[in-house]
Structure 1
């Protein structure tokens, strides 16, 4: 889950490779005391980095800074089931569409215990096909490029019946490096609100209530937005190369005001996770550099040459080096520094993936 991508923010995660082999050891279970996790502080302009802990975050930020979090709660987006002919499948929700259909990815037999790239291919389900997943009756409305596994589906159940069945029959999306079945509460931030994310906005998982209180006491302001973090990996090369897909977000007027006030006063806007960066920068890009409140979608892809207009720094996770997310993080730091920092994290035993250690890209 490395959210996603969608959700998940990382130091150089391989393209589509949430479970790809690598040398950095993954965290296999949520940390009971996440504030004790390690924090790699990268200072892009100074070209240096240093070791700290998540609990040190208040001392690394200044009074007048603004921390922006993604308050999307995580859905039980993994739905096991069978086709009408009895073949075992899994449907992973990707996004809810304005017409109340869902974009989703189909998997073959198996579950999280087998790496996504090792799962057998699912059956081809043409438009009109009906199947049962998580106790819900689904119908294929559209098969989407670039893969026959990418579907738009409609559920027979609607309203409260749909949501009740989803929470009764669904499970959190998880991957083979985890040490056991995850409960839904394992993948929620302490400030999670609207159920929009299909994978946890994992950069915020280490932010405990006491740590947020410490930031407030330090004089760091807090603001939130809701961004629908999508799937970070499917095991399908064609699909993974197209991630992240366009995602919706809702930016409150109060958050726009907080950002504008912080920048005008000389403070720094620090995003918790790349979902927040996509939401803020994507909205500004659509409005000539001006941040506008309200709901919308973004297809913004961060990378080399992109200069953030709104965000000064980023709190993210630490994962294996790879071109996909190194390109993303090059909006905040030069590639040689990112490579050096990733090598240091690996050598020092930092833990990767969504329950792993953290990285702060922010000049002192």
Structure 2
């Protein structure tokens, strides 16, 4: 257990990117048994914490609680190719737009083995420029602020031909701290459904069906929504300062009913990942405190001073100190406690990033 103390570091991603160095070691590969990963349970009001395992999560929740997951499956959003003049590039998809075009971030030559912030700049492309990525051709239809690397592109294929081309040509987005190329199945949660996310909604990766079924047996309700998790790092200071970008989510009526029922009956709503918090709280903020079903886009930014209306707790990853993600966590716990928790996690060898250990911010 720990009390309040001014420590060093914080849980989160480094400012301006997901690969800058920190003292917390990154997990370099997916775990064979993710439910055996470490889970740091933090009780913000009591200002204490303890070391447990993900497999212990059912003992930390109680009958009548609701666990809400993001069931977005992860796209093969990294597309390597060339400009029409032959320059090597990588296009990382960011989001699919309502008109069928895609927003993406352009990278220069190289691949995931080189840190995003160390990649050479890509060529500057104008509207009308062509790209060949894998077996797909794309046309630049817009260059967007705040960086010439942020593009809107239209692929030459549509429907099944486009999706087939993406899955045939694309790879999962990954970063230089990993030890080998990822397969697409490495970045899927157990319950992934529609392919909306360009990076994995990674908080849910340790939640195996064994853990989820144990939760159900103990009376914890499960609900889902679909939220399009975006990129965590581009290596471009202007783009990274704007993260996270607005993201779309689809909240089913059954999930709205489950959240309202849980709160009315005295249970706790626990979000798996900040994407779930953004989806639920962003929807409520947009509708005067009411949770409304359906598909919308949220630009909600979590951080110090934000008071959740619907969500009581957060199951999330443990990331290296120094941080944008740390600011998100301050919606659930005060800075001094997060600093002490981070120092404890570093000292105990917790692993960070998407395949790393977990943290539960939830009062008993």
TM-score normalized by the length of structure 2: 0.97
1:226, CA displacement in angstroms? Answer: 0.2
Q: Check conservation: 2:26, 2:320, Cα contact below 8 A.
A: no
How many matched pairs? 355
Q: How far apart, in 1, do the equivalents of 2:246 and 2:106 lie?
A: 19
1:34 alignment counterpart: 34
Return the offset for 1:16.
3.1
Measured in 2, the distance between the counterparts of 1:76 and 1:46 equals 42
Contact preservation (8 Å) 2:22, 2:322:
no
Deviations 1:211-258 (A, max 9, x none): 100000111000000000000000111100001000000000000000
Q: Does 1:85 align with 2:85?
A: yes
Q: Deviations along 1:47-105, whole A, 9 cap, x unmatched?
A: 11110000000000010000000000000000000011111100000000000100100
Structure 1 residues 326-361: Cα deviation after superposition (integer angstroms, max 9, x where no partner): 211111000000111011101100000000000000
Q: Which runs of 5+ in 2 are unaligned?
A: 1-9
Q: Answer with 34-43 or 317-326: which moved more.
A: 317-326
Q: CA deviation at 1:17?
A: 2.5
Q: Paired residue for 2:147?
A: 147
CA deviation string 1:303-324 (max 9, x = no partner)? 1111000100000000112242
CA distance in 2, matches of 1:222, 1:184: 25
Counterpart check, 1:214 vs 2:187: no
Match of 2:185 in 1: 185
Partner SS state of residue 337, structure 1: helix
Partner of 2:202: 202
Q: Say which SS state the counterpart of residue 106 (structure 1) adopts.
A: strand
The DSSP-based 3-state class of the residue aligned with 2:314 is strand
Give 1:134 shift. Answer: 2.1
Compute the TM-score of the two structures, normalised by the length of structure 1.
Answer: 0.97
Match of 1:234 in 2: 234
1:18: how far off? 1.2
Q: How does 1:46-195 map to 2 (within 5 A)?
A: 46-195=46-195
- In the TM superposition, residue 11 of structure 1 has moved relative to its aligned partner by 2.5
Instruction: Give 5+ residue unaligned stretches, structure 1.
Output: 1-9
**Partners in 1 of 2:78 and 2:208 — Cα distance?**
26
Q: Give the CA deviation at 1:15.
A: 1.9
CA distance in 1, matches of 2:324, 2:187: 24
Runs of 4+ off more than 6 Å: none
323-332 vs 298-307, greater mean Cα deviation: 323-332
